[in-house]
Amino acid sequence: MCARGILVHAIAPAVIGTELLQQMEKSTVDLLVSKIPMGRVGRPEEVAALVAWLASDDCSFTTGAVHDLSGGPGHVLGLAGPWRGAEPEPPSRNDRGQSGGMIERLWFGALARARIYRRLILRERPLSQPFPDLSVHTPVSVSLLAAGEIDAYMTFRPDQSIDEVRSRLDEGQQCFAVWQDRRIVHAAWAVTGRARIEYLSTEITPAPDEAYWHDVFTAPAFRGRGVAGVRMVEMMRCFRDRGYRRMLGAILPENRSSLRLDDKAGWARPIGLIGYVGLGPWRHVFCRIERGASPPGRAGLEP
Ligand SMILES: CC(C)(COP(=O)(O)OP(=O)(O)OC[C@H]1O[C@@H](n2cnc3c(N)ncnc32)[C@H](O)[C@@H]1OP(=O)(O)O)[C@@H](O)C(=O)NCCC(=O)NCCS
């Protein structure tokens, strides 16, 4: 490209004082600023000045560079790439909420709420691999939610709409519910065929031998007791026994509990990142698959 006179630049801004910032809590902004060595946010005109120079004839011998606009290198936001934060260390129960992770969560959370940038890690779990023993001491049972059990489900998830739950069951989605003492304490939904990712307002189409899970939830009082793992193993066994080869899931990179749960169940491998960048009515949906990995719809796995 250099030989053809094409220059390529990337700009790595941190927090810039745009309207987005005005939608954030002052305490959040203060926390972000406290992590920037220059002690302030960037100004839009500072971004504009750099862009103007990069696009001008004065910039004639610079290419292939990432230009820092972060108010000081090495600050904890570390927005060097979308994979940053996508592979967090497995959390221990004591390290939840460390400041670096918290700042990142706040930042990406603000971008997501403003519908500017949202992304999920796509993960796979080949069903040919052995399942771990994730049994729990608490007596629980796992079963597929039947239409006559919707009331119990609504008691467990009062935040959801009963019409939505009915329509999922009508469409053939399967809800794997964990019961304890005749109440549901955990549930997850599995879809075959076309699957909608509500958070991204987009869809993926798993292959006929792939299933996609979503809407995983443990009642708050039961979190950390391993009930989700019991369901996970039961769900994987159920699909494997029906000839499915791979399960797929999409997780927020900041959702450490969910990533940890997947890790314990052997969902070792992220296969890519799916998300969007949006500005007003314009939206660009992307799905970047890791080299060597198979995208949804093409399991391509050894039996
Ligand atoms: C993610 C979620 C389903 C995990 O369910 P769970 O039944 O708590 O699963 P586990 O007991 O196996 O715990 C998984 C990890 O969560 C973390 N965790 C433990 N106790 C926790 C608690 N009280 N609160 C939050 N997370 C906790 C731990 O890292 C734990 O791993 P560890 O047991 O190795 O320490 C549950 O936290 C949840 O419902 N979260 C809200 C909804 C959500 O985020 N869903 C996932 C969308 S992709």
Q: Is the CB of 253 under 6 A from ligand 1?
A: no
- 178-202 pLDDT, tens digit per residue, is 999 999 999 999 999 899 999 999 9
The domain boundary, picked from 113, 141, 156, lies at 113
Is residue 297 in some structural domain?
no
The pLDDT value given to residue 100: 54
Task: Establish if 195 belongs to a structural domain.
Answer: yes
Q: Are residues 218 and 258 in the same domain?
A: yes
Same domain, 201 and 103: no
What domain range includes position 27?
A: 2-113
Pair (103, 138) in one structural domain: no
Nearest protein Cα to ligand 1, atom 42: 217
Q: How far is the CA of 253 from the centre of ligand 1 (A)?
A: 14
Dist CA 265 CA 259 (whole Å): 10
107 and 133 share one domain: no
- How far apart CA 20 and CA 212 sit, in angstroms, is 33
The full length of the chain comes to: 303
Tens digits of per-residue pLDDT, 42-88? 999 999 999 999 999 999 899 888 888 888 865 444 333 333 333 33
Q: What is the reported pLDDT for 25?
A: 73
**Given a cut of 50, is residue 89 above it in pLDDT?**
no
Share of the chain above pLDDT 70, in %: 88
Are 236 and 127 in contact, with CB atoms under 8 Å apart?
yes
71 domain-assigned: yes
Nearest protein Cα to ligand 1, atom 26: 257
Which residue lies with its CA nearest to atom 19 of ligand 1? 224
- Pairing state of beta strands 202-204 and 195-197? antiparallel
Residues 104 and 139 in one domain: no
How many domains are contained in the chain?
Answer: 2
Instruction: Name the domain boundary from 113, 142, 159.
Output: 113
Residue 295, in any domain of the structure: no
Ligand 1, atom 41, residue with closest C-alpha: 217
What confidence tens digit (pLDDT) does each residue in 128-146 have? 999 998 888 788 999 999 9
What confidence tens digit (pLDDT) does each residue in 14-27 have?
A: 788 887 777 777 77
pLDDT (0 to 100) of residue 96? 44
Residue 73's pLDDT is what? Answer: 66
Angle between helices 99-113 and 26-34 (to 10 degrees): 130
Higher pLDDT, 193 or 91: 193
**CB of residue 283 inside a 6 A radius of ligand 1:** no
Q: Say if 99 falls within a structural domain.
A: yes
**Which residue, of 87, 113, 139, is where some domain finishes?**
113
**Residues in Cβ contact with 223 at an 8 Å cutoff, skipping those fewer than 6 apart:** 257
Considering the domain boundaries, does residue 210 fall inside one? yes
Contact between 295 and 271 (Cβ < 8 Å): yes
Tell whether the model's pLDDT for residue 127 goes beyond 50. Answer: yes
What is d(CA 227, CA 156) in angstroms, rounded to the nearest whole number? 14
My answer on whether 184 and 261 are in the same domain is yes
Work out which ligand 1 atom sits closest to the CA atom of 255. 44
Which CATH number belongs to the domain containing residue 203 in this structure?
3.40.630.30
> What is the CATH number for 9?
3.40.50.720
Q: Is residue 95 scored above 50 in pLDDT?
A: no
In angstroms, what is the span from residue 232 Cα to ligand 1's centroid? 13
Q: Which atom of ligand 1 is nearest to the CA of 258?
A: 1
What are the pLDDT digits (tens) for 220-246? 999 999 999 999 999 999 999 999 999
